[in-house]
Chain A
Amino acid sequence: MNEAVAKPWSTESLCPVCLKRISAERVIDGQEVWLVKSCPEHGETRTVLWRGEPDLPGWQRPKIPSQPPVCFTEPQFGCPYDCGLCSNHGQHSCSALFEITSRCNMNCPVCFADSGSSAESDPSLDTIETWLKSVRRACGDHIVIQLSGGEPTVREDLPDIIRMVRAEGFGFVQVNTNGLRLSGDPAYAGQLQEAGLTSVFLQFDGTTDEVYRRLRGRTLLDEKVQAIENCMQSRLGVVLVPTLVPGLNQDDIGNILRFGMERAPGVRGVHFQPVSYFGRYPSAPDNTQRLTLPEIIRAIEQQTEELMKVEDFAPPGCEHSHCSFHGNFVVLDNGKVMPLSSQNATCCNKPSPAAEGAMKSTRFLTHQWAAPEIEMPPASKAGKEKCCDCSEPPSLDDFLNRIKTHTFAVSGMAFQDVWNVDLERTRNCCIHVVAPDGRLVPFCLYNLTSADGHPLYRGKSHADIAP
């Protein structure tokens, strides 16, 4: 590694115990990058951020911060205690996430949704309408609206909520779901589609029941497959969303991608989320329990036998470079894929305004994560041996046809917890949760809890948040 870049980069983070803002350094140690920080009262923590290639120093896409057009709060206590968004924030919203229930129809060991509470605790339709209006005022109607929970499909009025989102003028609405209800009721996907749903963000942790048993406490593969089929029947775009846990499903990455590509163009892509740690942790989660973005990118290359390559993936144009990766492909008739994006986009490394990246990114996602606009041809045979001349490139005409339907987006986002949170990243975050009082809070900060399980934001008003 180049000595000149092997210097620590300074940023800020939080103390895992008292949640006070403290300075932090990203320290390069051989092939790894660590976040090292020290609270005068509670001592030092070291958390791994990045392991191996593509190297973090080269993984950059510099942006000029863009202040949100409308700010709901004024800076008072300092970042990250003023969300928000406040006028110090550096990026516009590209997705707004609505928690429409805290109830769930499952009981996963990895999740903190409250499967016990009753429907009365859900936000009312009036409340949701108020949120929608304020989000539209602050962010515009071009952004991604994600309905989340809990499990949003436990609400009987989910179709009404979707209709409300569309009536407010938002063009793209996505439901974040475990798929149980979609699999059990064949008519349900159609009802959601008719109400105006565009896309389903489907929790999909692996291609074997063993993965689900260990991660979710029960077998689920059949239900997932059925849910996908039902969504495809009803022309809902499906994005597979695996939570990756070291030692549990990281070897299934290639299978998940092949599973998805076999179902293109109904399945629109895969969005990987390495596990992060919320809730009560008496001691910091071991660093072997963390999977970093470059490890996922390399696993994609290895496990797809180089169908997809490391060089096909690039840092984001919207959020902070350290937050995510993405690569876009077209799935060809012969089972091969052709990359559509490349790191070349970053080689000139000229900073561009963050808001421009946010606009491009929403335009891309609202198109890519929805079902293709033209009639879907039968599912492709990606990853399967089908023809005798697999090595042959497609004809220009086939490619131009294919690109209209069979694009496939592969991405990953490394959510942060109290140990690895980098305030430079959250300050430039584009994915915002709508708090009950309508404030917008970067997703990672909204879910963040101290080591003993105390939330920074969830369930608190602005005045309660100061450390």
Chain B
Amino acid sequence: MLAVVGVALGVNVMIVVIAFMQGFQEKFRSDIIDAQGHARVLPLNPSSRTKDLKSTLSAHPEVVGCSPYIQGQLLLQNREYTSIPHSIGVDPVTSSEVLPFNAFLEKGHSVIDAFDSEDVTPVPTMDSLEDKVVFISLEVANRLGVRPAAILRKIDHNKTQRTGRKVGTVRVQRLDPFVSSAEWNIEFLGPSQVLIQEKLSSFKQVYDLTGRLIDLGFGKPVFELIEGDHSFAKGDTFHFQCFRASTLEVYSPSMIEKAKSDEMSPPHEVKVGGIIEVPWQGFHSEVLFGSLRFMEDIKNQPNVRDGYYLKFSDNTAGDDKKLGNLCEELEEKGGDDWAIIPWFVENAWFFELLKFEEYLMVLIMIPIGLVAAFAIAIALMTSVLRKIKEIGLLIAIGGNQFSVGLIFCLQGFIIGSLGAILGCGFAILFIKYRDTLMSFIVEKIAGKEGQAGVAQFYDFYSLEVFYPWESTESMMTFLSFAAFAILVSTIAGLLPAWRAARLNPADALRSE
């Protein structure tokens, strides 16, 4: 049944394209919300800039997160390299309620590749955002030639190859930005006692293990023991090489003003705590995140807030209309104090663009759909032509035009239904195996090396495409295209059958 396959392919292609479009939109949507919350509160006058608005805003039951920020431009310097990133001061404690900073840090985290050692640097978290620590984007780090602290563990090749069993190991649980460069050596003296030595500073200490952690205090890594199949034995030794985090000099515009009047104040020195990557492409690529206090200090404007990130309950956030209404409601509460801008208003330009693209897609899809419909119609028409004698016979043995038309209508309907079901099935399979499929295609085109690059550009791997049972929108796509296919097939079957049934039955029987 060629017609069935034709319908199936048409339905499949349409659904997949639309589903991926929706996937992209959904991804952009979540990336944007990740980057700036559901809405931003912007204080409008000097008095509200110094007022703490958080308690008023948080009082509303639909507000599940509210975190202030301060922003500005800062000049960073490392030796002769400079950068002027967009700088944002956030509250280390409450900001994670609104923006997934730890996920951003994880995304920005990179691993050093070395032959004889393994990068065991833990991914930094918001906990390490102290007042003298900043997170910067990769672009800034590269421009300045700086990097966060890192720690490598020497691989003892003789040892790891010895058994197939899981060997006990030592991890680094925490590496604060203030660690100094060092070479650590951990040697087991017995199952619960280790000798810890540091080469460069001649540090030496016997440490009695009480738990799994070895915490030597501020400025030193926190090690964590991971038991293997055997417990640790006397003589087990682990070597670590630790690299300190780079230090940056930070100048603010106000400091530069002062410098003009010869009151040069020394620059602030901060540690690079981690590399941060905000996945939303519309976000500033050169960006610095520091603590609120750090920004207050450096701008010399205590208690001034440039805005608040807001996060709403799922109930509101899922519905743009509700979200907009809530923003208006909150805005009225503040009188003239603040404006509240929902995420989709702030990024309207971007969504206009997406809309435009979608219209284009629809423009392309319509002719494709028509072609598919024509193909179905022609397939059915030829089948009717082949059966014209049979139609004559059906009438000769007592069938009427209506029932004969119905038979062919039914045939179209069955072809359409089968095609639609198959097409939906293909689409689900395609969505399910999109990663395998994409990587196969990419590998064929770009080779193994190209794969990583392409993946980064298109982000197909992380693209979330919904199954119909997961989202109503996806369900609608599946249903509407299935309905479309069935409708077209039925009509396509009806037209030739109607023509054939109107034919003089005697002529139909006589036809060759």
A and B: real partners? Answer: no
